[in-house]
Amino acid sequence: MSVVRVENVTKSYAERGAVTTAALRGVDLSVEPGEFMAIAGPSGSGKTTLLNLIGALDAPTSGEVFIDGTSLCGLSPLALADLRRDRIGFVFQAYNLIPVLSAAENAEYVLQLQRVPRAQRRARVAALFAKLGLATMMDKRPPKMSGGEQQRVAVARAIAAEPAVVLADEPTANLDQAAGRALVEMMHELNRERGVTFVFSTHDPMVLAQADRVVRLVDGKVAADERK
């Protein structure tokens, strides 16, 4: 079964009342378990809009989105929140770490929402930090960390709850080339070794070169679907 399925999805936005802009136009897309997939395209092509629909952060104007076979159409706000918490991991451009919490506490946050016992979630995060080369960062707070370190913690937070899919919107946008490359290599290693499914948007050629599949959007439509 596909982790993500997008069926004939459109998304339009009203501007100044009468004018409507179509961000997505009849998009069909399936993501299988264990894929490492990039959504590419120029600015305004619909990359972020598509990720927001897959992540249940927005609803399509028409069409349907499925996560693990569950249609998002018609789910209550509470059910959507539960689905985002349990089945989807998010990595944002701006990291979105909580500055007053330590790196470990940030990574544990979703597990805490899931009511995972403290000792269990601390052990899971400690093992994950060791795997990601973050063992010395456990007690460090975001303001004392570099951008690359913060984004690595954000990835740890995204996968700690073992979601069905991790969505990353331009994850290297605020990083220098070396930090960006290290981040993508780390994500790819998690994909290969743990089977974590990643879908990320990017226009960075270095990131696209590491993707196993590249879906290219042009003017809100799928223009190409390339597998390596």
- Mind listing the pLDDT tens digit for each residue in 118-127? 999 999 999 9
Residue 17 confidence (pLDDT): 63
Angle 147-160/177-194 helices, nearest 10 degrees?
Answer: 20
The answer, yes or no, to whether residue 15 has pLDDT greater than 80, is no
CA atoms within 13 A on the CB side of 193: 10
Residue 18 confidence (pLDDT): 62
Q: How many CB atoms lie within 10 A of CB 33?
A: 14
Domain ranges of the chain: 34-45+77-227
Domain 34-45+77-227 has CATH 3.40.50.300: yes
Residue 95 confidence (pLDDT): 87
Kindly report the pTM of this predicted structure. 0.91
Condensed to tens digits (0 to 9), the pLDDT of residues 186-218 reads 899 999 999 999 999 998 888 899 999 999 999
Question: In this structure, are strands 221-227 and 213-218 parallel, antiparallel, or unpaired?
Answer: antiparallel
Residue 19 pLDDT class (50, 70, 90 cuts): low
Task: Return d(Cα 172, Cα 115) in angstroms, integer.
Answer: 31
Tell me the CA end-to-end span of the chain in Å, nearest whole number. Answer: 21
CA-only gyration radius of the chain, Å: 17
In the chain, what percentage of residues exceed pLDDT 70?
98
Of 54, 38, 28, nearest in space to 191 by CA: 38
Task: Return d(Cα 152, Cα 13) in angstroms, integer.
Answer: 34
Q: How many CB atoms lie within 10 A of CB 228?
A: 9
